[in-house]
Homo-oligomer: A and B are copies of this chain.
Amino acid sequence: MLQSLKRLLVGEPKATAEAPHERLSNPVALAVLSSDALSSVAYATEEILLVLVLAGAAALTWTSAIAGAIALLYVIVTASYRQTIQAYPTGGGAYSVSKDNLGIRAGLVAGSALLIDYVLTVSVSVAAGVAAITSAFPDLYEHRVILGVVTVAAIAVVNLRGVRESGRLFAIPTYLFIVSFLGLIVLGLGRVLYGEAPIAPALAPPAVVPTAAVAAVTPLLILRAFSSGCVALTGVEAISNGVLVFRKPEAENAKQTMAWMAAIMLTFFIGITFLARQYEILPREGETVVSQLARTIVGTGLFYYVVQAATALILLLAANTSFADFPRLSSLLAADRFLPRQFVNRGDRLVFSNGIIILAFLASSLLVLFGGDTHALIPLYAVGVFISFTLSQGGMVLHHFHLREPGWRRGALINGTGALTTGIVLAVIAGTKFVHGAWMVVITIPILVAMFTAINRHYRQVGEQLRIKHFAVPDKVTHAVLLLVSDVHMGVLNALNYARAISPAVEAVYVSLDEEATKQMRLRWGLWSGGVPLVVLDSPYRSVVQPLIEYVDKIQAERGVDFVTIVLPEFVPARWWHTLLHNQTAFWIRANFLFRKWTVVINVRFHLET
């Protein structure tokens, strides 16, 4: 029944040979690989405004400067990752690049940061996607947590079925998003130019800030706003990880596509931020900044709903990319023996099922814990991202120094700038966001690294113990076979037959609880057993297990056999509840011998019909 449910959910199994190897054209690859990066437009501006507004309207003048700094950072990071594409044309994830160049410890830190990052990408994207929908339909706002969890579960099921990253299908929402945001920005700018910029209708102060307590515009506040805005950089590395999906020449195509992505992203981010300032839009509970902006520019009409739908869709796609990345990274870590080997196996549908299930569980848990609130999750998000940026860029610097390929100095300079910049930003983010949640990530990473190391140590120890050192096939392996009997019936005779098949010298063992019954047993055994000897063990305390253990002790001490085999006759009832009507002696005997060396317990099952 469980099996049928599984089939219904995930479909028929796929053969190993069906694994896809599809190459994508640049526009399609852009759609597939940039959803994570582009989708952050939906919340990055809002995060900056949310911090600045704490210091009142005056502080908002800092918005443009902060957006400019982030744009500059974006250019530096993009340039740096184009170097990675060149150096790792088969896909250079932060884990591999750090491990190769900075050593295994750095690799594990990058790996931990990435795993956390993927979980948060799902949580944040789904929370933001749900926010886009509840902005359009405010009645749904109170159900945002359950909507988020259901969405995560749905994405997980789709991924367990195994989505082909079928380019065309994925391209639709991405280009819908690009076109609608471009339209929104152009329309918005047009109205600004013609002096028609209306003011957002609902200028209620943001519910998260008590208006009375206005903070001062301190450098710390500015840095916090900057840190919050840095979520705009999430997903920028996706193209450098997926070089192999491009057509030949892969590296060239990937670099070109990355430039396009950066251009689109920056246009949108700067455009939305600029327009939000022009239309004097402030963040408030229950409606996103983008939704307010769209309502103000185009009114609550068809186009507004298209913008919201496109936002929600690209955010779902962004969440979906983590469902490819997290299981893939888990399988890499598991292949290197840092995670349980179950993560290496592909499931029925050729996907890494265990990784998908765990990711869905973690992301849903975060959604529930943080009440489905994008803003509450952001401080956790950026830390992990910038740790992997810094390690990856730093690794690239060493890579250039090791390799000294043509133009390596220029490459090292670019990556060095990248590493330095992202390192500084990382320090800023960790510092300013620590108390707001970044501490959780700062704590979790060393825990994960310790776990990876412990798992690896275990696997190495097991490997050492299982390694064949001095082994010669022995001439003869000896064993004593005991058949435990409590009565003489078909089930016992069936087991007796089996015992005789595995040894010519079977001994039947009977635990005596009652004299009369023992006398009967001896008689009946003599009648039916065909000469197999019967050993009777006394049991003053009515336990079956204890005398058996003592007898096995005695055999092992006296006879010098390699193995002792205990054959247990057992019958299999026709209905599960019938098991309640029979003593579970076989189970207890198994449990008692489970951890005993050189003893093998065999259940020989006799199947009842009714």
Interface status of A346 (Cβ within 8 A of chain B): yes
Contact bitstring A537-568, B, C-beta under 8 A = 1, else 0: 00011110000000000000000001101000
A471 in contact with B458 (CB, 8 Å): no
Copies in the complex: 2
Query: If A540-B15, A581-B458, A582-B341 touch, does A466 touch B489 (CB 8 Å cutoff)?
Result: yes
CA distance A465 to B497 in the complex (A): 17
Q: Answer whether residue A503 sits at the interface, using C-beta atoms and an 8 A cutoff.
A: yes
Known: A471-B490, A473-B529, A602-B600. A466 touches B581 (CB 8 A): no
- A471 and B493: CB pair below 8 A? yes
Determine if A407 is an interface residue (Cβ-Cβ < 8 Å): no
Contact A473 B542 (CB under 8 A): no
Separation of A184 and B345 alpha carbons in the complex (Å): 81
Residues 457 to 489 of chain A near chain B (Cβ within 8 Å): 458-459, 461-462, 465-468, 471, 473-474, 477-479, 488-489
Q: Which residue of B lies closest to A14 (CB)?
A: B541
Interface residue? A571 (CB, 8 A)? yes
* B581 pairs with A595, CB closer than 8 A: no
- Specify which of B462, B581, B597 is in contact with A340 (CB 8 Å cutoff): B581
Residues of B within 8 A of A501 (CB): 477-479, 562-563
Partner of A498, one of B341, B346, B477, B542: B477
Which residues of B have CB within 8 Å of A15?
A: 540-541
- What B residues does A565 contact at CB under 8 A? 502
A16-B541, A458-B578, A572-B595 given; A491·B479 CB < 8 A: no
Q: Is the CB of A477 within 8 A of B465?
A: no
B493 with A468: CB separation less than 8 A:
yes
Q: A13 an interface residue at 8 Å Cβ cutoff?
A: yes
Q: Do B563 and A498 have beta carbons less than 8 Å apart?
A: yes
Chain B: CB-nearest residue to A488? B468
Q: Which residues of B contact A75 (CB under 8 A)?
A: none
A529 to B16 alpha-carbon distance, docked (Å): 30
CB distance from A476 to the nearest CB of B (A): 8
The answer to whether B465 touches A608 (Cβ under 8 A) is yes
Return A306 CB to nearest CB of chain B, in Å.
43
Residues of A in contact (CB 8 Å), total 70
Contact yes or no, B540 A17, CB < 8 A = yes
Q: Which residues of chain B are near A607, meaning CB under 8 Å? A: 595, 597
Contact with B along A586-610 (1 / 0, CB 8 A): 0000000011010010111111111
Any chain B CB within 8 A of the CB of A143? no
A212 at the interface (CB under 8 A from B): no
A490 pairs with B465, CB closer than 8 A? yes
Complex Cα gap A65–B15 (Å): 87
Inter-chain CA distance A528–B467, complex, in Å, is 12
Which residues of the partner chain B approach A602 to less than 8 Å between Cβ atoms?
600, 602
* Given A341-B583, A541-B13, A541-B348, A477-B493 contact (CB < 8 Å): no
Chain B residues, CB < 8 A from A468: 488-490, 493, 528
A341-B583, A600-B602 known; A530-B473 Cβ under 8 A:
yes
A550–chain B nearest beta-carbon distance, Å: 15
Within the complex, what minimum Cβ distance (angstroms) separates A18 from chain B? 9
- Is A342 on the interface with B (CB-CB < 8 A)? yes
Query: Are A16 and B597 in contact (CB-based, < 8 A)?
Result: no
Nearest 4 CB-CB pairings of A with B: A473-B530, A466-B489, A477-B501, A502-B502
A interface with B by C-beta (< 8 Å): 13-17, 340-342, 345-346, 348, 455, 458-459, 461-462, 465-468, 471, 473-474, 477-479, 488-491, 493, 497-498, 500-503, 513, 528-531, 540-543, 562-563, 565, 571-573, 578, 580-583, 594-595, 597, 600, 602-610
What are 20 A-B residue pairs whose CB atoms fall within 8 Å in the complex?
A: A17-B540, A340-B580, A340-B582, A341-B583, A345-B542, A455-B581, A458-B581, A459-B581, A461-B610, A462-B573, A465-B490, A466-B489, A466-B571, A467-B489, A471-B490, A471-B528, A497-B562, A498-B600, A501-B563, A572-B595
Known: A13-B543, A14-B541. 17 other contacts (CB 8 A): A15-B541, A342-B583, A345-B542, A461-B608, A462-B571, A466-B489, A466-B571, A468-B488, A468-B528, A471-B528, A477-B497, A477-B498, A478-B501, A497-B562, A594-B605, A595-B607, A600-B603
